[in-house]
Structure 1
């Protein structure tokens, strides 16, 4: 592509840009945002080539626009770019929920644009901001595309090729399946980490003085961006709460086994969990 625009040059948007630069797949990458200091920093770091706080200038002659902001901002962003986008410009995103994003696009555009290809890279860090951007972040990682039935086939191919060029493994599935799977594998673990930290601080503020490596490993993702995860909760409430309830049932089962002193059953549960994780790590 000759030129792409990234709206929201943070960890994910910045890593996408660096990966494309490394792969030499795009001639010019322009950043757009409200914070000019952040955009200037991104340019100084070599993440983007140029930037603008004027959306008309930022979208001038672009082949693709990537929205890399919290999902609660998507309605205002769709409304902002709508007058400047034609059917030749691909719209994509990196949001962690997909059904809500597609619904928002339909609300703003009246119908889901054929050139809108929703995407979600299954990669990240607990750090945020362009300073944490990493051109190798997506290497070997899955990127899920959830194009709608009316999606332009060539647009799907173009988006897939960009992600594959930076080392990602592209997979296509429905938005509903995506939101259910990610609620289990990503959203739920973050809820557990956040709630564990909240539980400890409410129970005994001195408890962290006695926490060791295991607690540090488990709670790592509680350092993730709070506003981003607030938006994910608001945009995928049914699936997240469904799996929280499912996990509560698993905890209730374990609690009962412990209370009843069911040593063999406890060990069997732990052994099964360990084997499943070991197999996953060895894939």
Structure 2
């Protein structure tokens, strides 16, 4: 069971709200309090039953709390930590849900200073293209990975507490170093979002935009689904992980250049090899996912 008696979730949108709902669904009996810069969002989360309290003064919000979850755009991490620092008790554990880790850890070290041992970075690998508390669902993390990028200063007990929190929500715990995390997700998460946004922006700005959208069907819809995600959040993620992302984008541009050359040369056999390799790799990946889920 989750060992925390009172949880403050800063950011009660899709991820923060879904965390609260998942905890309730799976038996958490403690208090869950929301903290938001937008009072309308906080009021909506309270109306939906996501949080037990909304809009209380900061000292009351943090009174008796033993866990703070930062579920905000990664660029806001520093400002949020500075705001809540006066209210953090000596034993309070702090964690986050950010999609990048090296930047978040760097700012946490700067702000938390000697309290950095209390910060256990985490990233639940789950999402939807919708945003806000109305998008929150109680099964968002079921069967999904949560990556913990533990710090050398973290206490084993605190790491286990955060792992247990996500396991209570149905998540499967994985561990990576912060740099490995950012490298991996630059390739398989951040670049796909960038490509989806770029394609839709290209079509939207085209002279024949209306005609193109009129005939866009399932292929375009499936490829660009993630371009409906929060622009603010993905702007921050893109800039926060730009070093790894630039490396992967440059490599991908070489792949595109090679494919363009094959198209120009009308080299069907070589194009088919790329398509077949991609199909085979994707099917192997899907089968791996299906096999792992069938064992749960």
Q: Is the 8 A contact 1:25 1:162 kept in 2?
A: no
Partner SS for 1:231: helix
Q: Which residue number in structure 1 is paired with residue 209 of structure 2?
A: 205
Find the counterpart in structure 1 of residue 61 from structure 2.
58
Question: TM-score, normalised on structure 2?
Answer: 0.93
1:233 to 215, 238, 243: 238
Aligned match of 2:283: 278
Alpha-carbon distance between aligned partners in 2 of 1:219 and 1:174, rounded to the nearest angstrom: 30
Structure 2 spans left out of the alignment, 5+ residues: 289-296
Paired position in structure 1 for 2:196: 193
Residue in structure 1 matching 2:221, options 216, 229, 233: 216
Pick which of 155-164 and 86-95 moved more: 86-95
Alignment of 1:251-270 (within 5 A): 251-270=256-275
The DSSP-based 3-state class of the residue aligned with 2:153 is coil
Tell me how far apart the structure 2 counterparts of residues 111 and 250 of structure 1 sit (CA, whole Å): 46
- Measured against aligned partners, the alpha-carbon deviations of 1:22-54 in whole angstroms (never above 9, x if no partner) come to 111341101111322222221221111112353
> The residue matched to 1:143 in structure 2 has which SS?
strand
Q: Secondary structure at the match of 2:94?
A: strand
Could you tell me which of 153, 178, 183 is aligned with 2:186?
183
Aligned CA distance change for structure 1 residues 250 and 96 (closer, same or farther; 3 Å): same
Alpha-carbon deviation of 1:220? 0.6
What secondary structure is seen at the aligned counterpart in 1 of 2:141? coil
Give the secondary structure class of the aligned counterpart of 2:54: strand
Gaps of 5+ in 1: none
Q: Give the Cα separation in 2 of the matches to 1:229 and 1:160.
A: 26
Which segment is superposed worse, 33-42 or 211-220? Answer: 33-42
In structure 1, what is the Cα distance between the partners aligned to 2:274 and 2:85? 53
What corresponds to 1:2 in structure 2? 5
- In structure 2, what is the Cα distance between the partners aligned to 1:237 and 1:174? 18
Compare 29-38 and 216-225 and name the one that shifted more: 29-38
For 1:250, the equivalent position in structure 2 comes to 255
Q: Tell me the CA shift for residue 111 of structure 1.
A: 4.5
State the match for 2:176 in structure 1.
173
Aligned-partner SS, 1:52: coil
1:236 and 1:102 map into 2 onto residues whose CA distance is 13
Question: 32, 44, 47: which is aligned to 1:44?
Answer: 47
Q: Secondary structure at the match of 1:127?
A: coil
CA distance in 2 between counterparts of 1:279 and 1:213 reads 23
Match in the other structure for 1:16 = 19
Which residue matches 1:85?
88
- Written as runs of structure 1 = structure 2, the 5 A alignment for 1:29-178 is 29-111=32-114, 113-178=116-181
Moved more, 222-231 or 22-31: 22-31
Distance 1:168 1:14 in 2: 16
- How many Å apart are 1:112 and its aligned residue? 5.9
Residues 254, 112 of structure 1: alpha-carbon distance in 2 compared, 3 angstrom cutoff: farther
